[in-house]
Homo-oligomer: A and B are copies of this chain.
């Protein structure tokens, strides 16, 4: 026998919504670009400034703020020190000249949702079975420091702290040094028992907008194959050196870039590819380049297709190296398999959205998110709100105030259900 009932939901007040909008405006000004975007690379001066803003905001509202050794910032609302936490969050860092919504929205909406629930629960004299917390993960973007998802991967134990610290930016500054410089190199781990993790993020695709939905519940993730490939040639004068004697690592890289794309072109929408970054040495107009590192990505809903594409790329690279008298090394090779997100948590989100009267549907994520790192370890729910025209990693990235308010209502209500009735999804 099952009993059907409509559970009570808590949602943010008008004051909470105004508080979110002020916080978001303040964040958008830190690292703002003239075209209305955001340029706030991980552990930069601007990242330090928005972290200060975030920490102050949390402290003023009674959160306990803790920073771990990789710079992840946690804002804790502890009702019961022995209870586990329902955590929400995302990241405050951005890509170069990117949008002001990506990641930032999830952290600030999370902070306001938790603050709102803490106040309402206190007013109601209600002590839920789970505590609440919000997190800002370090270097989600992987723009200044590679790989991406560093903070959440250290938290889960998938990446060793020492390896994370040793990552260097293009100027040779390590992540550890950079965190120290902005004052966010914490000590040790922040040990939290995690009951569940909720991340709300802009979609970075146009599915919700196209379908007229306010909220997407991510059910599946695409697989990703990320490789760093280095061609090694020989430095020489671009003038007198006979063409037959050249070992041009940039020519090899150019052939590799076109080969990566040719592979994607074989598979239509089932395979996305890119080479977004090159490191070229010596990168001087009059010198044959001797070393070029390519950052190659393939993404697909089909993990097997990705692996096969990776094998074919390897054959192409061999041919390119032979044709250009260069050699190559695979410096790193990381295959992230496609996954299904936690079923019960997604179902709970779906029912909360329906109860709130929000147009809600299922989503797939092609992008990586901290939520995906965490989903291998904890029950995780990843929610999307619309991205205008699907534009992302671009100053023109846009999500309307109404869509952000809808997301904040959704997040607050879901966090309330998750912390007050954890059996609803586990």
Q: Contact residues of A with B, CB < 8 Å?
A: 95-98, 141-143, 146, 148, 170, 203-205, 222, 224, 226, 234-243, 246, 248, 250-251, 253-255, 257-258, 261, 264-265, 269, 272-278, 280-289, 295, 297, 299, 365-368, 390-395
Contact B237 A282 (CB under 8 A): no
Q: How far is the CA of A281 from the CA of B170 in the complex (A)?
A: 13
Minimum C-beta distance from A178 to chain B (A): 16
Give which listed residue, B204, B243, B264, B282, contacts A243 with CB less than 8 A: B264
Minimum C-beta distance from A45 to chain B (A): 16
Contact A237 B367 (CB under 8 A): yes
Given A257-B254, A274-B288, A288-B393, answer yes or no on A282-B95 (Cβ-Cβ < 8 Å).
yes
Q: How many copies does the complex hold?
A: 2
Give which listed residue, B285, B365, B367, B391, contacts A297 with CB less than 8 A: B285
Contact A257 B264 (CB under 8 A): no
Report B-chain residues with C-beta under 8 Å of the C-beta of A297: 238-239, 285-286
Contact A226 B95 (CB under 8 A): no
Contact A274 B248 (CB under 8 A): yes
Minimum C-beta distance from A101 to chain B (A): 12
Give which listed residue, B170, B226, B276, B283, contacts A250 with CB less than 8 A: B276
Report B-chain residues with C-beta under 8 Å of the C-beta of A275: 250-251, 254
Contact A277 B283 (CB under 8 A): yes
Report B-chain residues with C-beta under 8 Å of the C-beta of A277: 280, 283-285
Contact A142 B96 (CB under 8 A): no
Contact B394 A235 (CB under 8 A): yes
Report B-chain residues with C-beta under 8 Å of the C-beta of A224: 239
Report B-chain residues with C-beta under 8 Å of the C-beta of A226: 285
Report B-chain residues with C-beta under 8 Å of the C-beta of A255: 254, 258
Minimum C-beta distance from A139 to chain B (A): 12
Report B-chain residues with C-beta under 8 Å of the C-beta of A258: 251, 254-255, 258
Contact B236 A394 (CB under 8 A): yes
Contact B283 A276 (CB under 8 A): yes
Contact B237 A284 (CB under 8 A): no
Contact A239 B284 (CB under 8 A): no
> Which residue of the partner chain B has the closest CB to A392?
B237
Contact B240 A251 (CB under 8 A): no
Give which listed residue, B142, B203, B282, B366, contacts A284 with CB less than 8 A: B142
Contact B283 A278 (CB under 8 A): yes
Given A254-B258, A255-B258, answer yes or no on A238-B285 (Cβ-Cβ < 8 Å).
no
Contact B393 A148 (CB under 8 A): no
Q: How far is the CA of A274 from the CA of B241 in the complex (A)?
A: 11
Q: How far is the CA of A284 from the CA of B169 in the complex (A)?
A: 11
Report B-chain residues with C-beta under 8 Å of the C-beta of A393: 235-238, 284, 286-288
Q: How far is the CA of A142 from the CA of B238 in the complex (A)?
A: 13
Minimum C-beta distance from A175 to chain B (A): 15
Report B-chain residues with C-beta under 8 Å of the C-beta of A250: 257, 275-276, 278
Minimum C-beta distance from A93 to chain B (A): 11
Can you identify 21 A-B contacts, CB atoms within 8 angstroms? A141-B286, A142-B286, A143-B285, A143-B286, A148-B285, A170-B283, A204-B237, A224-B239, A234-B394, A235-B393, A237-B367, A239-B297, A239-B366, A239-B367, A241-B272, A242-B269, A250-B275, A251-B275, A254-B255, A254-B275, A277-B284
Closest 10 CB pairs of A and B: A96-B282, A254-B257, A238-B274, A143-B284, A240-B366, A285-B295, A239-B367, A254-B254, A205-B240, A239-B366
Report B-chain residues with C-beta under 8 Å of the C-beta of A234: 394
Minimum C-beta distance from A55 to chain B (A): 27
Q: How far is the CA of A278 from the CA of B280 in the complex (A)?
A: 8
Given A274-B288, A285-B276, A391-B236, answer yes or no on A251-B243 (Cβ-Cβ < 8 Å).
no
Report B-chain residues with C-beta under 8 Å of the C-beta of A295: 285
Report B-chain residues with C-beta under 8 Å of the C-beta of A273: 243
Contact A276 B238 (CB under 8 A): yes
